[in-house]
Amino acid sequence: KQEVTQIPAALSVPEGENLVLNCSFTDSAIYNLQWFRQDPGKGLTSLLLIQSSQREQTSGRLNASLDKSSGRSTLYIAASQPGDSATYLCAVSNAGGTSYGKLTFGQGTILTVHP
Amino acid sequence: EPEVTQTPSHQVTQMGQEVILRCVPISNHLYFYWYRQILGQKVEFLVSFYNNEISEKSEIFDDQFSVERPDGSNFTLKIRSTKLEDSAMYFCASSRGENTEAFFGQGTRLTVV
């Protein structure tokens, strides 16, 4: 059974810092990994999708890397801003069988960027 | 930009009542999902739906739950005889392909009293 873990559980940084969020998964047989942002009481906003054949994806100040064989992904946020404050979720889609795109989520990292 | 829309945003129901949560997926998407998030816990998969039938369901998705795509646009989750422990945020999601990017709605907060 796939298990996804995110470290740290919470992170508080001053504005302008570069930061790294970590995600690990126990079963390396994945189709893809997706990073989401969740604001309090709101839905999930997709940030980046990395296919299993890819090493990284970039969108603006965000860069996500994937090391499938070791079961790890990182989300790098450059020059953090107060508006980046949210919970960041990592989710994987398992390969094989009849997964049909089911996502398994980590518990999230709560990020606070203070001015 | 196309988005997944869910209604209502918040629903309060009495224990034992039936509720229907509604979703309009992105129009050219073929795969539909329901997830839930109990307060303070992980987002959990409930069910996936493709080609007008359930393709996968979790152990949470028992006989109390059902899904339907009654027309070409709506996708519904019905919970029969709600229990207190069904209180959660329910998210609908859709994707164009089986393992392509999933887009989520804003959620329906269900409170069972």
| pLDDT tens readout for residues A53-100 | 999 999 999 999 999 999 999 999 999 999 999 999 999 998 766 666
Contact yes or no for B56 and A105 at CB 8 A: no
Confirm or reject contact between A53 and chain B (CB < 8 A).
no
Contact yes or no for B56 and A98 at CB 8 A: yes
From residue A86, give the alpha-carbon distance in Å to each of A23, A106, A114, B9, B54: 16, 15, 12, 20, 33
Confirm or reject contact between A31 and chain B (CB < 8 A).
yes
Rg (CA), chain A: 14
What local confidence, expressed as pLDDT, does residue A98 receive? 60
Instruction: Give the residue carrying structure tokens 């899904």.
Output: B67
Distance between first and last Cα of chain B:
37
Query: How big is the CA angle at B91 (ends B89 and B97), to the nearest 5 degrees?
Result: 165
Distance between first and last Cα of chain A:
41
What local confidence, expressed as pLDDT, does residue A96 receive? 66
Q: What are phi and psi of B85, to 5 degrees?
A: -75, -5
pLDDT in tens, B22-47: 999 999 999 999 999 999 999 999 99
